[in-house]
Structure 1
């Protein structure tokens, strides 16, 4: 999926956090730490694992086309180091992860064999994201993935203090089977 612009309108944006990184292998772990903190602040930790996996794939691809991936780079390679940019955009009911690099080549899904160790990154992005794509930027492209934010489940009700076990009072009978079925149906709809 490739488009020509960002997947959201500016007026929809509630929060934005952005980080620019030198395009080396360490950019992947640095972007993960950055995103973990941002998601925690935004109270969107429920989607943290998916966001971190998507960002890891997108930043890895951006570093591959922008930076140095050699274990022992030469001085000439180090002089040509570029930047990758990671942006997390919070919308009303979703977040968008954007990773910018210097290549103007759009990302392409690869169809790889079962034994292949590489080439599955965008397949993971496609599987985890509600939608994804790319757009051209000045000097390169941005690849983005949008993930829905699920609201947290409400906390379980607490018994009043005098009804808790161990307080000397007998515990009230538990909820009936009809009530438990109703809760299960409600939870199924929330997910």
Structure 2
């Protein structure tokens, strides 16, 4: 909800699906690496709770998605992240690391109705081989058979 709400407020809804996929991957990795605490902790055990923070940064031409966790090793970059993001990296902090990815909107023109314009590709050369000879006798027999039906 945070992601969709923020991107809607920033008028960057075209990034929502890709941002959700990237954020899901980054959070999944952070949770796996920092481990889930005991499902029924005592109050004294909550002092050392490993929190995961998410931050979105609005850029002139995109959005940065950040996930902060307590893990101290560089992330492993999933194909989903590298395919959807224009840039990605991580850096260590005193408490762990920050993993970030930059998403840019797709580059295309819009029609007057807000839909993406179709990009016409160059047509492949057309094969102009002559058509095979038509068997007139066979066609006549097919036509006569159909007329009898």
TM-score scaled to structure 1, two decimals?
A: 0.53
- Greater RCO (Cα-Cα under 8 Å, separation 6 or more): 1
The CA deviation at 1:131 is: 1.6
Among residues 17, 29, 32, which one is paired with 1:64 in the alignment? 32
Aligned to 2:11: 43
1:97 aligns with 2:53: no
CA contact (8 A) 2:57 2:65 kept: yes
Q: How many residues align?
A: 116
Partners of 1:54 and 1:142 lie apart in 2 by: 14
Aligned to 1:130: 86
Among residues 101, 113, 116, which one is paired with 1:156 in the alignment? 113
Query: How much is the aligned-residue C-alpha RMSD, in angstroms?
Result: 2.7
Q: Which stretches in structure 1 are left out of the alignment for 5+ residues?
A: 1-32, 110-121, 158-183
The CA deviation at 1:187 is: 4.3
**1:94-145 Cα deviation digits (max 9, x unpaired):** 1110100011100124xxxxxxxxxxxx221111111211111221111111
Which is greater in Rg?
Answer: 2
Large movers: runs of 4+ above 3 Å: none
Partners of 1:67 and 1:43 lie apart in 2 by: 35
TM-score scaled to structure 2, two decimals?
A: 0.66
**1:59-87 Cα deviation digits (max 9, x unpaired):** 111122234177xx2526x6342211101
Q: Which stretches in structure 2 are left out of the alignment for 5+ residues?
A: 121-149
